[in-house]
Amino acid sequence: MKKISYLLIFTFLTSCTSNTIFKKPKDLIPKDTMSLLVQEMMIASSSKFIKNKNLERKINYMPLVYDLFKIDSIRFQTSNLYYMSKIDDYQAIFEDAKANLERKKAILDDLKKTKDSLRTDSIRNSNKKPILIDTLNKKKERELPNNVKDLKVKL
């Protein structure tokens, strides 16, 4: 009985450790294209809950990503499964995608910061304009001769 239980435990432990690497599909998506595809898919999946121009939410943008790269979901799934079996390549693809997304985010943050600073400057200037006009009017009154000021007050 003990021998059978040891045999079962040994077979169970050896069957759990499988390093399955799938065959390379004939229509495999290249690594750099896969990285770009993953970037676009991350953007598409995160924009699902943001309102678009028509104020609609919960729109699936994945078909648009597939159309952009001229692939179908089956080709993506087979390529994704192949790269998942080669974890080093898969991790490199995702790290590249993450780095590119962070660069894009930094560029967009700088652009937003510039637009916000321009907006705050324009708001500050719009608030200062009446003050500037009042000070210019006062300067003009100071420059006027005394008899003109008297006429202005009498009117």
Helix or strand run (H / E) with residue 22: none
pLDDT tens by residue, the chain, 155 residues: 667 766 667 666 666 555 566 788 889 999 999 999 999 999 888 887 778 777 777 777 888 899 989 999 899 999 999 999 888 999 999 999 999 999 999 998 988 888 877 777 666 666 554 544 555 555 545 554 555 444 444 43
The residue among 17, 15, 31, 39 whose CA lies nearest residue 82 is: 31
Cβ atoms of residues 83 and 30 within 8 Å? no
Helices (H) and strands (E) counted in the chain, each on its own, are: 6, 0
pTM above 0.85, yes or no: no
